[in-house]
Amino acid sequence: MSENKEIILTNEGKAKLEAELSHLISVTRKEVSEKIKEARSFGDLSENAEYDAAKDEQAEVEARISQLEHMLKNAKVVEVESNDVVSVGKKVKIEFFGELAELMGMKGKAEYSIVGSSEADPAQNKLSYESPIGAACINKAVGDKVSAETPGGTVEFKILAIKKA
């Protein structure tokens, strides 16, 4: 992650990161500390798998805490103003059409939330504004026909509706 790259987040995404950070600091960190303490009590640390595992877990927790703190420090929360055009923080309903959409099994209607890259989760229909389809939607209005360059080729769709996510 570059030093001061701005992290684009929705209010929901920022709250989720803050909750994760709080839980890691107040709960997980203490649990791992207890595991280390318990593993130390087993004696010889040079051949203590429990101790090694607990230290590895501690390193992972501390790395995630550092990552979250960095992300929140550089976070820019987007404010959703109007529903005239697609932007981060909006939900967009689209209809895929064309040969490639049919071949990829995407033909038809779908609804996506456009989010920052750290919040993206295609399984939950949350697309990053940097993804091919997310980027193609940005600044488009209802009725616009859009093409997006995906790894599988150019997919076409129409913007049907835009609303606050």
For the domain covering 90-164, report its CATH number. 3.10.50.30
In the structure encoding, which two tokens stand for residue 34, read together?
Answer: 């207890």
Q: Which tens digit of pLDDT belongs to each residue from 6-45?
A: 888 888 888 999 999 999 999 999 999 999 888 888 777 7
- Rounded Cα distance between 76 and 7, Å, is 6
In the structure encoding, which two tokens stand for residue 24, read together?
Answer: 């890691």
Q: What is the largest CA-CA distance in the chain?
A: 69
For the domain covering 7-77, report its CATH number. 1.10.287.180
- Rounded Cα distance between 47 and 128, Å, is 45
Q: Which tens digit of pLDDT belongs to each residue from 97-122?
A: 988 888 888 899 999 999 988 899 98
In the structure encoding, which two tokens stand for residue 97, read together?
Answer: 């059409």
Q: Where in the chain are all domains bearing CATH 1.10.287.180? A: 7-77
* Interacting residues of 1 by C-beta distance below 8 A, sequence separation 6+: 67, 70, 71
Q: Where in the chain are all domains bearing CATH 3.10.50.30? A: 90-164
